[in-house]
Amino acid sequence: MPHEIHKAIARNSVLIRSLPEKHVDMLMQKAMWRHYDRGETLFLQDEPANAIHIVLDGWVKLYRMTPSGSEAVVSVFTRGESFGEAVALRNKPYPVSGEAATQSEVMHIPSNVLIDLIKRDAEVGLSMLSASFNHLHSLVAQLEQLKAQTGAQRVAEFLLGLSKSETGSCEVTMPYDKVLIAGKLGMKPESLSRAFSRLKPVGVSIKKNHALIADTEALRAYVEDDG
């Protein structure tokens, strides 16, 4: 059985909280709740998509294998984020593979349960469209970031996203390995290392999987500098 904290995270996810309240309890009861160890596979590319997934804790990566055999990270999801809506509702195979980048807790909603609900209540379909729009908006933001920002600015924004501080100094823990961070930011691992070096004059120092930020406001100004 899921912990109450995981139920609360699921209820507050973008997908679930946009659904009509009258359906939420039923969906929670019919969902599958799984723990994954780091490196464990959720699903493989080209497998039938039969569920929508909500991350309750940890980090899950989606990736594709390139013709050369290397791994291309498509996206990384964390607590409260959902994925797989479009392919599951269209009964299509997964275009990517899913893997736990850290120890993770994931809620799986069977797609046939949601499809039945959509047939009975149009509001559920609108909620699915809203979730798909959020994913599209996120992809557009990533493309804009790739075109408009330097590698160092992308890394700086990533670190700020992990920080809970608006001002002053702070320390953040990078939640997964640097190869995955590089893939998420559209960089090669060696480019990530160079980007970390370029952030030293802005007050960022890296120690293993920790980043020390001397001044979050100065780092934010660096990210926003278009010169």
Tens of pLDDT, residue by residue over 149-158, are 888 999 999 8
- Angle (nearest 5°) at CA 152 between 189 and 185: 50
203 or 22, greater pLDDT = 203
Q: What whole-number distance in Å separates Cα of residue 39 and Cα of residue 194?
A: 27
The per-residue pLDDT for 63 is 92
Convert the pLDDT of each residue in 102-133 to its tens digit.
999 999 999 999 889 888 888 888 877 777 77
Q: Is the dihedral of CA 176, 177, 183, 186 positive or negative?
A: positive
Note the pLDDT of residue 48.
93
Predicted confidence (pLDDT) at residue 135 exceeds the cutoff of 80 = no
Domains of the chain from N-terminus onward: 4-147 (2.60.120.10), 149-224 (1.10.10.10)
